Structure 1
């Protein structure tokens, strides 16, 4: 069970993780290639809510095919377990980015009060600067 957020979770059967070993691997990266992992996640067959499925399909990500299959390749670690965890965390980040609501900020005009405070602050700062270096005679 992969928990994405409080109300979104994926069952184990939805995520297919397979170990990939490249043919004829040699040289220094033998251990890395031997522990490579491909994660496959079918968006259309998943138990995600329809809204999340649509958002995932609309994402502009090269890991998502036109058929709605997410394929994540992980081979940066030497052990199989770490590569599995890495692939799962990247899937979780992808789904989270699709489920997050975009905040719409509307352009706001500065209020009269904020404009006045800004001018007051600038003039106060200017007065303090003009008094620097002057010796007061008392």
Structure 2
């Protein structure tokens, strides 16, 4: 097997592993949703519905606060990178990064890689949150519809 073929199969394995992990999470979410709806339909009393509603609303707030935090981090990443560059320049007498690299004081590639890693972290965090929590938010909306429906059927709360 050539090196190119090996890299391709290795990339396919990693992608498949990631897909399977996401699929397991999705299946677990679907199973929990079905179990919750079954409980609401067949066994819930008004006190259960109120407790369930509070738990669902708390989870929804957690997801929204995580989204806000990631958006904040996303907007702060360029600022963090600029500050990192400024600190390097300040420690070396306010020289530019290119001057310090030319003198061999810093590795410019390291600075660029730091910036890339920051941006990669943000995109990974945002991508993972967006994919999984979107489904969870949809489930939360569905739970709210079921809870409201059965609250009305029980005569309101």
TM-score by length of 1: 0.24
Q: Higher Cα Rg: structure 1 or 2?
A: 1
TM-score by length of 2: 0.22
